[in-house]
Amino acid sequence: MNELLEYFNELNDLDYFKKKIRVYGYKKSYNYNFVEGLTPYLFESLNIKNKIAKETNENRPGKIEEKKYITIHDTGDTLPGHGSKFWADAVYNEFIKETNQKYACSYQYVVGNEGIYHMIPDNEIAWHAGDSTKVSYNLYDTGVGIHHHHDIDITTDGYFSIGGIKSNIMAPRGENDKILTKDDINDQGLTLVKGENNYLLGEVYYNETYQKICNRGGNNNSIGIEISMAKGENLFVNLARCAKLVVKLLKENKLLMSDIKQHHFFSGKNCPQTLRENELWDYFLHLIDVEAIVDSYLSDGYKLSIETKCEYVNENGSIDKLPGAVRGIEYIVTTEYQGKKETALFVKLI
State in angstroms the smallest separation of the CB of 179 from Zn ion.
29
Let me know: does 233 contact 82? Beta carbons within 8 Å: no
Let me know: does 215 contact 131? Beta carbons within 8 Å: yes
State in angstroms the smallest separation of the CB of 342 from Zn ion.
43
Nearer to Zn ion, 144 or 260 (CB): 260
Nearer to Zn ion, 5 or 116 (CB): 116
Nearer to Zn ion, 245 or 271 (CB): 271
Task: Tell me the residue type at 288.
Answer: I
Query: Which residues would be at the binding site for Zn ion (CB under 5 A)?
Result: 73, 263, 271
End-to-end CA distance of the chain: 24
CA distances from 126 to 13, 53, 58, 67 (A): 41, 11, 10, 12
State in angstroms the smallest separation of the CB of 226 from Zn ion.
7
State in angstroms the smallest separation of the CB of 265 from Zn ion.
11
Alpha carbons 17 and 35: distance in angstroms, whole number: 6
Nearer to Zn ion, 82 or 263 (CB): 263
State in angstroms the smallest separation of the CB of 260 from Zn ion.
14
Residues β-bridged to residue 50: 118
Alpha carbons 258 and 268: distance in angstroms, whole number: 18
Nearer to Zn ion, 118 or 263 (CB): 263
Alpha carbons 205 and 215: distance in angstroms, whole number: 6
